[in-house]
Every structure is written in C-alpha cells, then in structure tokens.
C-alpha cells in the first residue's frame, strides 16, 4: 500500500462502474483503504472468488445502504462468505461472510482490503489454503442448502444435476453421493469425464442426448434455467422437487415443488463443508488462478471457463 495526498493508505482494487460494459469495463486502480463502520472489521484479502456472470446480478450494483448504481469493487461470488480467504489486520486468519439478500452486500473482495461486518466473520482453519477457502464457500453452501434445506434429499433418491462439471455442480454431485443418492449429471460432451470423475453415475450430453429419456427424478438441481429448466420440470416424479439458482422457473412440476433460492451465510454449514474438504470427502473445482494484477485479463478470457475462477490478491 501507499499513502495518498490525504494521508490515507491506498490499496489496489478492481473497479467497475459501467454495468453495460461487463468485465470489459473492469480496471485495476488505486483506491483509499476502506474505513470500518460500526461493527465492521477491516480484513486483509489473500484470495477471492469471482463468478463469470456476477456483473449481471442486481446485488452487484447495490451497496450496503441499499443504494443502486454505486458498485465499485466486484468479487465475492455472491452471496458467499467474504472475502472468502482473508487475514484480519490483527493477525488472525478469517473467512468472512455477507448477507444473502439480493439487494444487500457486505463487502467486495477484488481488493487488498475489505470492510466486513464482524458478525459475518468465521475462522478459516490454518491447514486450509487461502485458494481453497476462496473456492469452497459459495459452491459448497449453494449445494448444501439446495440439496438438504430446499430439496429435502433422502438416501436412495435420484438427483439430476445440471452443469455437473461446474463449481456448484461438482459440489452437488459429491454431497448427493455421500448422502446416498443416485446422481445423473448433465452438461456438454466435453464435460462428461469430469462429471463422472466427481461422482456422477450417469451423464446426459445436453447437446446430443435426449434429456427426457431420464424421467422419474426425485430432485433436479438446476443452474442453467431457461428451456432446460422448463424441460426439467417435466422430469420430476410425484412429490419431487426442482431447485434452481437460475431465477424463477417458468414451469413447475405437475405434482411437485419448484424452489428458486438464494443461499444464506451459515457458519455451521460452512464448517461441515470445510471439514469434508479437510478430510478428503469433498474436492474443490478450481479453474483459473490469477493475481490481482492479472485479474482483468483473467475475466476477459475468450475460452470457456472451467471451474471456479480465483484471484490471489497476495502470493
């Protein structure tokens, strides 16, 4: 960090102010270090997760006061624990969090420092690497809550996981298998082996196979939406559930539930997820890793993204 003409410390941060420009409008700049409000803690960020479509989310452009159009620093894999992997200024290791509301966020972490509400802080175990911590929170909590809170998954049920090779899909697959479900993954042909490697027992190529051939599914976990979401509703057997993070579904199961959910920060659940990573029951799905200096280029790659994009703010 350096000092500005005002005497305040400055930091590096990724700034975006033009919603229409998307990731192409991101810039690496110097900004004043954040100031802690009442009940806040300023944390030093080591690693941060970023979701490829984050700049399209309404919450990205809403600040902590509920004011729109003032968004500066992205990078929190909404609404996961923030800053995902960080070190508190007083020297403790932390994994910090944010509200799950669509219109209220606690911090953004594509920056060297972030101000976070203290109540949303939880410890990051010392044997968990910062990059792993940044990759596990949002996908893990999304999978956990979708399967168990909203999907009410039971052993012996069948689960259809869309996007089974993605960051969320691989978590859903592994947790569903652990709890005794039969898992069918979907995706592109190139995703087949990865989905199977993470535990899917069957795979449906959405470009070449017939999705409707699977039929009779207890739980569909949808991360795609659109036409795939509509077609998936027809696959649910009586009493089954379609859970989605792709927004309200246009179709509902004839004799079942359709649930569009937004994850909430939950320390107990996160602790269970992290413990599974520590003892080898869960593997993270990390794609590209880049430094903060190279973050803008990483977000504007032309090739297809695979796995979670992680920005190492500090080596």
What average pLDDT does the segment 176-185 reach? 98
Residues 6+ apart with CB under 8 A from 227: none
311, 293 in Cβ contact below 8 A?
no
Asked whether residue 3 carries a pLDDT value surpassing 50, the answer given is yes
Portion of the chain with pLDDT greater than 90, in percent? 41
- pLDDT for 209: 96
Question: Sorting pLDDT into bands at 50, 70 and 90, what band is 59?
Answer: low
- pLDDT for 241: 97
**Of the candidate ranges 2-16, 109-123, 139-153, 207-221, the one whose mean pLDDT is the lowest:** 2-16
Three-state SS string across 264-315, please?
A: CCCHHHHHHHHHHHHCCCCCCCEEEEEECCCHHHHHCCCCCCCCEEEEECCC
- pLDDT for 62: 57
d(CA 137, CA 108): 15
Average pLDDT, the chain: 79
- pLDDT for 99: 26
Higher pLDDT, 188 or 132: 188
Higher pLDDT, 59 or 143: 143
């Amino acid at each position: 960090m350096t000092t500005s003409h005002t005497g305040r410390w400055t930091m590096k941060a990724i700034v975006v102010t033009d919603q229409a420009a998307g990731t192409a409008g991101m810039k690496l700049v110097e900004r004043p270090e954040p100031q802690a409000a009442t009940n806040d803690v300023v944390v030093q960020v080591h690693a941060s997760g970023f979701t490829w479509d984050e700049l399209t989310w309404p919450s990205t452009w809403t600040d902590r006061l509920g004011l729109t159009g003032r968004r500066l620093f992205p990078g929190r894999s909404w609404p996961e624990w923030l800053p995902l992997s960080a070190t508190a200024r007083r020297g403790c290791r932390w994994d910090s969090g944010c509200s799950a509301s669509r219109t209220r966020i606690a911090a953004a972490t594509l920056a060297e420092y972030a101000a976070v509400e203290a109540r949303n802080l939880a410890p990051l175990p010392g044997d968990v690497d910062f990059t792993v911590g940044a990759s596990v929170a949002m996908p893990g909590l999304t999978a956990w809550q979708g399967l168990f809170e909203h999907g009410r998954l039971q052993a012996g049920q069948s689960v259809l996981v869309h996007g089974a090779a993605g960051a969320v899909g691989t978590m859903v697959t592994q947790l569903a298998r652990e709890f005794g479900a039969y898992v069918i993954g979907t995706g592109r042909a190139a995703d087949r082996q990865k989905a199977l490697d993470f535990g899917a027992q069957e795979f449906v190529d959405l470009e070449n196979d017939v999705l409707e051939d699977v039929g009779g599914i207890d739980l569909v976990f949808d991360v795609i939406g659109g036409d795939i979401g509509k077609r998936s509703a027809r696959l649910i057997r009586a009493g089954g559930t379609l859970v989605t993070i792709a927004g309200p579904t246009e179709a509902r199961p004839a004799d079942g539930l359709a649930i569009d959910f937004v994850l909430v920060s939950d320390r107990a659940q996160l602790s269970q997820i992290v413990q599974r990573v520590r003892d080898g029951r869960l593997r993270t799905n990390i794609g590209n890793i880049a430094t903060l200096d190279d973050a803008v280029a990483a977000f504007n790659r032309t090739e297809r993204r695979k796995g979670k994009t992680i920005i190492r703010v500090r080596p």
